[in-house]
Chain A
Amino acid sequence: MLSRAQWIAITVVGAALLAVPSTMAALDEPFYTSLIARILVFAIAVVSLDLILGYGGMVSFGHAAYLGIGAYAVAIPSYYGIDNGYLQLLFAVGGSALVALFIGAVSLRTSGLYFIMITLAFTQMLFYLGVSLEEYGGDDGINTNRSEFASWIDLYDDATLYYFVLACLAVCLVFSYRLVHSRFGRVIRGVHSNEARMQAMGFPTFRYKLTAFVISGAMCGVAGFLLANLTEFITPEYMQWSRSGELMIMVLMGGMGTLFGAVLGAIGFIALEEFIPDILDLFGDGLGQHWSIVLGPLLVVLVLFARGGLWGLLPGRKP
């Protein structure tokens, strides 16, 4: 299903990502290892959003909720001295799935603008819940330990953490790729294309959409789990609505309904976020904080001239 150019891109980007920790160590720039790890974490979240947004046509404007839940699944147990990574990962995935089940069961009864607004509203509720949890730092946030796995997976070692994140991304990508090409994935794409037709064929579409929504939420919970480990600090801001918007921008940048584009979208967006302010500051003091002045027009250009996003620039195989 992938074209030659796409395979080459995956191989090149994959190889480059594998080489990051040793290269950065050699260059004595460890900051970039953690920056790229951060990109990979967001790539997981973007892949999860792309599953329902790109393939299912479900415009969830509240995906940051699961990022937050996954992060709190590390911080809250850690606060009580439970640093067991397996348990925390279980909390992250299970908690996100449960919340997605609830939000999806309500919001998927609507569509279009209503769906967008309801997913946004639920996420705002979770955001304010986070703010009100004084015990866990409220809106100041709270520090956390990194998760503990088997002795050979020491997440306090930056290279190990990096490869752990990379492995999670690879698993999510392979799983998602299989998913969208499976019978289930076909139904999700079919519902996006023509829901009335799918129902007339005998598919109870709500059940399929809800399942996809839960899978997507759970996967995004994994990203939250990793984000907490990366930053060793949790704040309700992970769940802010602007974060949900950023995830959507990354999906668009990478190319909707492409999965692998998610990685490019995350790289593109976070690189812009990181470097444009520095470049702007060269032109005038304080210009850097207005970096979205550049982001906005760039997005417009992308949507106008490259509908398939960055991934769409690669020659694909015709269906």
Chain B
Amino acid sequence: MSEALLEVRNLVKRFGGIYATDDLSIAVQPGEFHAVIGPNGAGKTTLVAQLSGMLKPDSGSIWFDGHDITALSTAERARLGLARSFQITSILKDFTVRDNVAMAVQARQGHSFRFWRAAHRDRSLIDPAEAILERLSLSERADTLAANLAHGEQRQLEIAMVLASEPRMLLLDEPTAGMGPEDSQWMASFLEGLKGDYSIVLIEHDMDTVFSLADRISVLVYGRAIASGTGAEIRSDPEVRRAYLGNEDA
């Protein structure tokens, strides 16, 4: 367990008397595709917020690559290599698609206290950005304002920005949320392609996506991980069936 890339230890987050995260422990190994699933209100969003540094836990700790990152800011975690996507697409709408990705490239190239040289002609920003756009089949849209993209394309763009920051771990918060079946399928197969190259934590509501993709799955109910294991183990776990599958299977 000590070589886990991301480790959550006894995490607790309360809102009033309600435990959104209740003594939660999860470990993700390097290269692992780990999915966190759970019904609505299970505390998925609260967990993501704590992992990314937007919420501070009441107790417990989060470790990334051997560092205690519990007290670090979102930006500091990102610079350690923990990159996230948002459940509600978060991109720079006033920027072109290319500039969105170039910004992520710029973020990983150290500080931006450079006041004079024009950034829009900087090949060290543009070239990597265009390579990633190519990979996400967004090249044709490079000069489009991000706000004018279709919803599915905006999600693609956000993934492109996450990849452009060359992260060591991707934290994906329901990447197929609000997508039509076609786009969802595209996203699932794209994530399939990332498997093995990146360590991934996928927060997902949609079970079908998860079972086909994840190496391991943690099931969250009322802020607790009631089960953790491979897809087959989760499927046959009686507690999971009772708490989650039984209610959701229609």
| A binding-site residues for B, Cβ under 8 Å | 1, 178-179, 181-187, 189-190, 192-194, 196-205, 208, 211, 319
Contact = CB atoms under 8 A, between A and B. Distances in A.
A319 B165 contact: no
Interface string B122-146: 1000000000000000000000010
B4 interface: no
Given A202-B79, A204-B73, A208-B112, A185 B84 contact: no
Given A181-B118, A184-B115, A200-B74, A319 B145 contact: yes
Contacts of A187: 103, 106, 112
A171 to B, nearest CB: 13
Nearest to B77: A202
B119 A183 contact: yes
Contact of A190 (B74, B84, B95, B96): B95
Contact of A203 (B52, B96, B112): B112
B107 interface: yes
A119 B4 CA distance: 47
A317 to B, nearest CB: 12
10 contacts: A183-B106, A192-B94, A197-B92, A199-B74, A200-B78, A200-B84, A200-B90, A202-B76, A202-B79, A203-B107
B92 A193 contact: yes
Nearest to A205: B75
Q: Which A-B residue pairs are the 4 nearest by beta carbons? A: A202-B78, A201-B107, A199-B74, A183-B112
A201 B119 contact: no
A196 B85 CA distance: 11
Contacts of A179: 115-116
B15 interface: no
Nearest to A186: B119
A172 B163 CA distance: 38
B93 interface: yes
B70 to A, nearest CB: 17
A194 B92 contact: yes
A207 to B, nearest CB: 8
A205 B84 CA distance: 17
Nearest to B158: A197
Given A181-B120, A319-B145, A202 B113 contact: no
A186 B117 CA distance: 11
Contact of B114 (A182, A190, A193, A204): A182
The binding surface of chain B is classed by DSSP as loop
Contacts of B120: 1, 181
Contacts of A204: 73, 75-76
Interface of B: 52, 54, 73-76, 78-79, 83-84, 86, 90-96, 99, 103-104, 106-108, 112-120, 122, 145, 161, 165
Contacts of A199: 73-75, 78
B113 A211 contact: yes
Contacts of B86: 196-197, 200
Nearest to B117: A182
A194 B90 contact: yes
Given A184-B114, A202-B78, A193 B95 contact: yes
Given A200-B78, A202-B108, A202-B165, A190 B92 contact: yes
B119 A182 contact: yes
Contacts of A189: 94-95
Contacts of A202: 75-76, 78-79, 107-108, 165
Contacts of A208: 112
B113 A201 contact: no
Given A192-B94, A202-B165, 19 more contacts: A181-B118, A182-B117, A183-B117, A183-B119, A186-B112, A187-B112, A189-B94, A190-B95, A190-B103, A193-B93, A194-B91, A196-B86, A196-B90, A197-B92, A198-B107, A200-B84, A200-B86, A202-B108, A203-B107
Nearest to A179: B115
Nearest to A178: B116
Contacts of B116: 178-179, 182
A126 B107 CA distance: 38
B171 to A, nearest CB: 9
A178 B115 CA distance: 7
A218 B83 CA distance: 36
A192 B95 CA distance: 11
Contacts of B118: 178, 181-182
Contacts of A196: 54, 74, 86, 90
B90 A203 contact: no
